[in-house]
Chains A and B, each alone.
Chain A
Amino acid sequence: MFNLKTTPFHERTSALCQPQNWRKWAGYFVVGSYEHVLDREYWAIRNAAALIDVTPLIKYIIQGKDAAALLHRVTTRDIHKMKVGQVAYTGWCDEDGKMIDDGTVSRLEDRTFRLTAAEPNLRWLTMNAVGMDASITEVTDDMAALSFQGPNTRKVLNLVCEKSVDDLKYFRLMTNKIKGVDVTISRTGYTGDLGYEIWMNNKDALKIWDALMEVGADYGITPVGILAMDMARVEAGLFMLDVDYTSTTHAWIESQKSSPFELGLDWTVALDKPGYFVGRRALEREKKNGSEWKMVGLAVDWVGMEDIFKRIDLPPQIPGSAIRASLPVMVGNVQVGYASTSTWSPLLKTYIALAHLQRPYYEIGTDVRMEITVEHHRQHAPAKVVKLPFYEPEWKKK
């Protein structure tokens, strides 16, 4: 009441959080970083096994005869085609085809789905469910979730789980048991690496955490905070609500809104799916006419940036974590867009950014310049428009 909630893992996470770096996430406190610098946590994601508390993710269970029809109507994916055990990433739009939020839909049973979201959507879902046989229950506070990310995670899970996860394909889920406790494991994540998300009842949370930490010790398991994950998700080309785009429900003006096409989610918009879905007409129109904007990757040219620093006799300087600040992107003297998140990629050794560019500048290979601050002065470093994701290891989907 006077404080935010803590997650069911708090007893463990709070004991490990050395820098007292806590972040607010959907009404919870979660660890920003466990260590004073992010390096080890970041590299756990890319090289070992990162254990991330993602409990605050908003979760709904949608159940009933019309559960599939409801999600089919609300999201842009063809939900009727989904098999039990399948997970689909999707955005959902308002009537004008602009994004409200994004998350994953999991078909747990024929008539039972789990929807995750960044923001509360109960009201929106309920409004769309009028006359349908579909119950919508928020389970955010009842269900704990761990994101387990990195190349070693499969080995650890195979040791700790009752059933092997070898056959669990990308964006599929399975039920399993850890130390006799029922869990759902989905092969999903927010890092673009091999990874899983483990869903469990709150009461089992510590048991699962302990089991993973114990078995994972030999495989470099590392509790990781959301700041290191923020760097990894940019490398993976994954965006974040309220950082990289504004929900239509928050936008003050039209230009703040984005369509799924503008965010590069063309592959999630099933215009060929049967029947009505919210935003369909507007999306069809946009598909035909092309999009004014596009979210793309920017890779800053290191040599070009080095030159700018060199002019005042400084070596290049880059912050050690992702920057959630809007940075103007220029062509000539004209601003053609902005970067919404930028980060140093420790793996690629490149300064990268998620950027929103106007037509025609969003074409791959376009040369642009992105704002950098060099010793209190604003400068523009040369950068190139590149395809997303910046990084995709072969084992991500294998």
Chain B
Amino acid sequence: MTSNQYDAIIIGGGHNGLVAAAYLARAGKKVVVLERRPIVGGAAVTEEIFPGYKFTEFSYVVSLLRPEIIRDLELPKHGLKILPLPSTFTPMEYGDYLAAWDDHDLTRRELYRHSPKDAEAYDEYARVMARAAKAIKPIINLIPPDPSSMSIRDLMGLLKVGQYAASLKEKELYMIAKLATQSSADLLEEWFETDALKGTKAASGIIGTFLGPRSPGTAYVLLHHYMGEIDGAFRAWGFAKNGSGGVSGSIYNAAKALGVETRVNSSVKQVKVKNGRAVGVVLENGDEIDSKVVMSAADPKRTFLQFVEGKYFPDDFVTAIQNFRTRGSSGKVNIALSKLPNFTALPYKGNGADSVLHRGAVSISPSIDYIERAYDDAKYGQISKRPYLDMIFPSMIDPGMAPPGQHVMSCFVQYAPYDLEGGWNDQKRDELGEAVIATIEEYAPNIRECIVGMQVISPKDIESIAGITGGNIFHGELLLHQIFFLRPVPQWADFRTPLKGYYFGASGAHPGGGVMGAPGMLAAKEILKDGVI
């Protein structure tokens, strides 16, 4: 049974699981990744749902993939290319549009067209946010210390945070305190007057949460997005060649080259426990695999409530995990197109191959009220009648995503509540698709005639296909009470768990979701630090 004896088992072949496996293998460990589905990638997959059209099914942009992971695992050598996504285009309700281009002067000109004041505030806002992000980033990068613990490691960690906080200027502290408590609407209304600008900015404060732009705490989520900004040109932001599957694919290739073994169609039933230690897993098919440590890269609920019997965890820990908020609020509509939808605010000529707006993101976020209204529907269990949409056209960025002359379109849609009144079924899924198409149609009337095929993904589908409980794209909402030393639960934010030998390194762990890879990397480093393997 030598082939079934490993140093580490990684449950889940999503990007975090693969990153963790690669780091462990890089340290000379024998690692196996167990993936439930027939393909690796988790929520970062690219699949050809309609022949010739590749859908970047769930996640669709790379935002904060850590540059050190790219370097350490030599991902470019294994196929990673992150292509620019240079603009955001927001069509407005009365036929005009607002755009943010990649060039600073162009963007200023464009904003100036709507409001000279906003054009200037935009720069200052970006700087204030970037400064705030710079101020809290060192905290984010720490292994979260537990403020109630008396261990040397936690005390040293706390000391570092304290020293750091003391080094901040008063103004920065106030700013952070404010950002931590405000709603994104309140924050943005302090700065801007153009509705479409406020709407578009506010949108990034609600992604992956079950909150509206007027809910307190959403300002922090806005700030979270600036973490990548402060790395400037070094940040990995854009659209990966071959979609998000291209990211997982390159990590998979890197892991494989480092000797990681991956088994697909290998659903884990339970973690084996012996003498109070995790010592391997039992698969759904009854196979057993032994290891010195087990790391879960699944969501917190499955990690702690499904894979391990409750008796191995303290009661309050189980309760805390039960209370961890994983309310899915978004869906995804992937569309195969015979031609590009033509936006009336800035129509293209010919077949649109040179349409600038289609190379970037198109955001349906005409105002804060628009998004808040979309939230109102969701609050009471309905699909937003007019949802917020974040759309990209992957085939315009990477021509390999669709047959020549054809296109694919990726629409992130919020809100589509996981707990839909009456539950999700095929009819409801069609309703979600129709809400998206009807919304797009208001700005691009020819959308229906462009559609060759369409895939609608509800939060329920995210749960059943990608295996994320609740269908939350971050495995757990990015809320103030669910980040840093509180993620996933207090006292256990350091990738360890109450069960010895069992580790947790996925989006539900610090520092959170997005195709970032940080939880996987940090967890692997902690496993190595413990010296068990």
Task: Let me know if B117 and A5 touch, CB within 8 A.
Answer: no
Within 8 A of A (CB), among B110-153: 110, 112-113, 116-117, 119-121, 123-124, 127, 131, 134
Taken together as a complex, chains A and B put the C-alpha atoms of A234 and B134 apart, in Å, by 35
Task: Let me know if B108 and A27 touch, CB within 8 A.
Answer: yes
Judge if A123 is at the interface, Cβ distance under 8 Å: yes
Taken together as a complex, chains A and B put the C-alpha atoms of A3 and B109 apart, in Å, by 9
Judge if A376 is at the interface, Cβ distance under 8 Å: no
CB closest residue in chain A, given B134: A252
Taken together as a complex, chains A and B put the C-alpha atoms of A29 and B62 apart, in Å, by 33
Task: Let me know if A3 and B119 touch, CB within 8 A.
Answer: no
Q: Name the B residues within 8 Å of A138 (CB-CB).
A: 116
Specify which of A1, A24, A121 is in contact with B99 (CB 8 Å cutoff).
A1
Specify which of A3, A4, A123, A249 is in contact with B117 (CB 8 Å cutoff).
A123
Binary contact track A335-367/B, C-beta < 8 Å → 1, others 0: 000000000000000000000000000000000
Task: Let me know if A4 and B121 touch, CB within 8 A.
Answer: no
Taken together as a complex, chains A and B put the C-alpha atoms of A123 and B113 apart, in Å, by 16
Specify which of B109, B127, B134 is in contact with A1 (CB 8 Å cutoff).
B109
**Interface residue tally on B, bucketed by range:** 20 to 34
Given A4-B106, A24-B105, A27-B105, decide whether A249 and B121 contact each other with a Cβ distance below 8 A.
Answer: no
Taken together as a complex, chains A and B put the C-alpha atoms of A24 and B109 apart, in Å, by 13
Count of chain A to chain B residue pairs whose CB atoms are closer than 8 Å in the complex: 41
Taken together as a complex, chains A and B put the C-alpha atoms of A123 and B191 apart, in Å, by 10
Given A2-B356, A27-B108, A27-B109, decide whether A122 and B117 contact each other with a Cβ distance below 8 A.
Answer: yes
**Interface residue tally on A, bucketed by range:** 10 to 19
Question: Separation in Å of the B168 CB from the closest CB of chain A?
Answer: 13
Specify which of A2, A24, A123 is in contact with B124 (CB 8 Å cutoff).
A123
Question: Separation in Å of the B27 CB from the closest CB of chain A?
Answer: 36
Question: Separation in Å of the B353 CB from the closest CB of chain A?
Answer: 15
Question: Separation in Å of the A60 CB from the closest CB of chain B?
Answer: 10
Task: Let me know if B120 and A5 touch, CB within 8 A.
Answer: no
Specify which of B110, B120, B131 is in contact with A122 (CB 8 Å cutoff).
B120
Q: Name the A residues within 8 Å of B134 (CB-CB).
A: 252
CB closest residue in chain A, given B128: A249
Taken together as a complex, chains A and B put the C-alpha atoms of A351 and B109 apart, in Å, by 38
Q: Name the B residues within 8 Å of A4 (CB-CB).
A: 105-106, 109
Q: Name the B residues within 8 Å of A317 (CB-CB).
A: none
Taken together as a complex, chains A and B put the C-alpha atoms of A2 and B113 apart, in Å, by 13
Question: Separation in Å of the A286 CB from the closest CB of chain B?
Answer: 19
Q: Name the A residues within 8 Å of B117 (CB-CB).
A: 122-123, 126
Given A2-B106, A2-B356, A27-B105, decide whether A250 and B127 contact each other with a Cβ distance below 8 A.
Answer: yes
Binary contact track A1-15/B, C-beta < 8 Å → 1, others 0: 111110000000000
Q: Name the A residues within 8 Å of B121 (CB-CB).
A: 123
Q: Name the A residues within 8 Å of B106 (CB-CB).
A: 1-4, 27
Q: Name the A residues within 8 Å of B120 (CB-CB).
A: 120-123
Given A1-B110, A2-B356, A122-B116, decide whether A252 and B131 contact each other with a Cβ distance below 8 A.
Answer: yes
Q: Name the A residues within 8 Å of B356 (CB-CB).
A: 2
Question: Separation in Å of the A299 CB from the closest CB of chain B?
Answer: 36
Judge if A26 is at the interface, Cβ distance under 8 Å: yes
CB closest residue in chain A, given B357: A2
Of B101, B106, B127, B131, most A-chain CB atoms within 10 Å = B106
Q: Name the B residues within 8 Å of A5 (CB-CB).
A: 109
Q: Name the A residues within 8 Å of B108 (CB-CB).
A: 27, 120
Q: Name the A residues within 8 Å of B99 (CB-CB).
A: 1
Q: Name the A residues within 8 Å of B127 (CB-CB).
A: 249-250
Query: Can you sample 21 A-B contacts with CB below 8 Å?
Result: A1-B99, A1-B113, A2-B106, A2-B356, A3-B106, A4-B105, A26-B105, A27-B108, A27-B112, A120-B116, A120-B120, A120-B123, A121-B120, A122-B116, A122-B120, A123-B120, A123-B124, A126-B117, A249-B124, A250-B127, A252-B134
Question: B interface vs A, CB < 8 Å?
Answer: 99, 101, 105-106, 108-110, 112-113, 116-117, 119-121, 123-124, 127, 131, 134, 356
Apart from A4-B105, A27-B105: 20 A-B pairs, beta carbons within 8 A: A1-B106, A1-B109, A1-B113, A2-B106, A4-B106, A4-B109, A5-B109, A24-B105, A26-B105, A27-B106, A120-B116, A120-B123, A122-B116, A122-B120, A123-B117, A123-B124, A249-B123, A249-B124, A249-B127, A252-B131
Question: A interface vs B, CB < 8 Å?
Answer: 1-5, 24, 26-27, 120-123, 126, 138, 249-250, 252
